[in-house]
Amino acid sequence: MYIDFSSSVDSCKQSSLSSSTAVGFDERMLLHTEVVMKSHPHPERPDRLRTIAASLATAGIFPGKCYPIPAREITREELQMVHSEENIEAVDNTKRMHASYFTPDTYANEHSACAARLAAGLCADLASAIYSGRVKNGFALVRPPGHHAGVKQAMGFCLHNNAAIAAAAAQAAGAKKVLIVDWDVHHGNGTQEIFERSKSVLYISLHRHEGGRFYPGTGAADEVGSMGAEGYCVNIPWSRGGVSDNDYIFAFEQVVLPIALDFNPDFTIISAGFDAARGDPLGCCDVTPAGYASMTQMLNALSGGKLLVILEGGYNLRSISSSATAVIKVLLGESPTIDIENTVPSKAGLRSVLDVLQIQMNFWPTLEANFTKLHSEWGSYAFQDTSEFLEFSLGRIYEENRVKKDVGLVYQYGGDGDERGCCIAYCPSSCVQSPLVIFLVDVDSRCKLQALGLDCVVVL
């Protein structure tokens, strides 16, 4: 895959670089790949970057409208600002291995250390360029992702923590206060660990949690920071999947923006995982490209527009390419197409926001008015039964016409006079809070799904 950046450079020369959006990308990051061939490709694979890059090129955005940041490998000294020698050595040692694993889901090959250092170096240089005013804002099109990587450990597909390294680079350039908003569907346990004792970096994460049952299990609402930095970790944990634009935008309006405005950051980073996007096989949520664009626009109003967006997760190629493109269009000055005037959250989403407000208003008094108003107007609604969620989930299956390859077979039986063939299965793409046990009965190439008494017919 070869990308000619000359058009981007020429375009940006015609206007001031200080008003340009920068993009960090390097094809060497595509060499980080799983060596051991399995029946299904690893979700964190090179095609993620290829697809986004192709989408941006087709739209004439990059190359074209964005300024390319040249890549460099981050130095050991820069890594030491965030990671221990244990992490640095473990990643560096993979250069001498054809194939290795940090954890069962986190692979490495002989190119992985270089890819991780390039990703971190791009994020650091983008942060410095944005904070110093050399460019207006930026998008780090990088892999491997980073927000699960802690002080010592590489895990969750992540080797070095790109967002934490970018925050350190912004501070080295002069930023006193850095805001990191992490909307990846998984909690950024590594980023939280790195900054949980810091009052100069505010970490806000919106993620599926489900009482700790959703990976990585951290990020409960009562994890608020420690050692005098209580309130500088803000976790907004969803109790189930299926959360949508309305839930995220509602949480932004009620929690994220009020705290961010009080904090008044000099620099803002988005850990932009797109695995809460509609159609993602791991996240099973319902956020649209317009939803991501709206959240980007809200955060772009902070820090004088000094905003860096860093790619984290996202494993549906169509979803990540359309979502990333929508976000970069906002960085370039386009307005989102979504109407956010009257956002009504789901009952589960409202309950999560109320829980967070009740905890965080102890550290951010401005939230007390929001909690009182919401609890007065919506409190009884929030704690009603939420069975409508399952109807939504089955509706999503019907709407998306899920195909047979999306359904994982657990147990099948037939015969004994039953020629229909019945199986117990789960559908990981059905936007449910956990693998939903369903019954499928084959009837004239259509299947009837029955779950807790609710039926839905889909074409298979």
Active site residues: 148
The residue type at 272: A
The residue type at 28: R
Instruction: Choose among 355, 273, 356: nearest CA to 316.
Output: 273
| Coil, helix or strand at residue 177 | coil
Specify whether the CB–CB gap between 50 and 95 falls below 8 A: no
Any alpha helices (H) in 188-338, and if so which ranges? 189-195, 245-251, 257-263, 289-300, 317-331
Separation between Cα atoms, residue 319 and residue 241, nearest integer Å: 17
Strand ranges across the sheet with 418-426: 408-415, 418-426, 438-443, 446-451, 454-459
Instruction: State the helix-helix crossing angle for 112-131 and 162-172, rounded to 10 degrees.
Output: 40
| CA separation, residue 23 to residues 3, 125, 220, 408 (Å) | 13, 11, 33, 38
Specify whether the CB–CB gap between 230 and 209 falls below 8 A: no
Instruction: State the helix-helix crossing angle for 367-382 and 347-360, rounded to 10 degrees.
Output: 150
Instruction: Choose among 316, 277, 428: nearest CA to 438.
Output: 428
Assigned token pair, 388: 């409508």
Neighbours of 293 (CB within 10 A): 24
Burial 341-363 (b: 16+ CB within 10 A, else e): eebebbbbbbbbbbbbbebbbeb
Q: Which residues contact residue 176 at a Cβ distance below 8 angstroms, ignoring those fewer than 6 apart?
A: 200, 266
Rounded to the nearest 5 degrees, what angle is found at the Cα of 50, between the Cα atoms of 152 and 204? 45
- Phi, psi at 117, each rounded to 5°: -70, -35
Which regions of 175-326 does DSSP assign to beta strands (E)? Answer: 178-182, 201-208, 233-238, 267-272, 307-311
Specify whether the CB–CB gap between 436 and 242 falls below 8 A: no
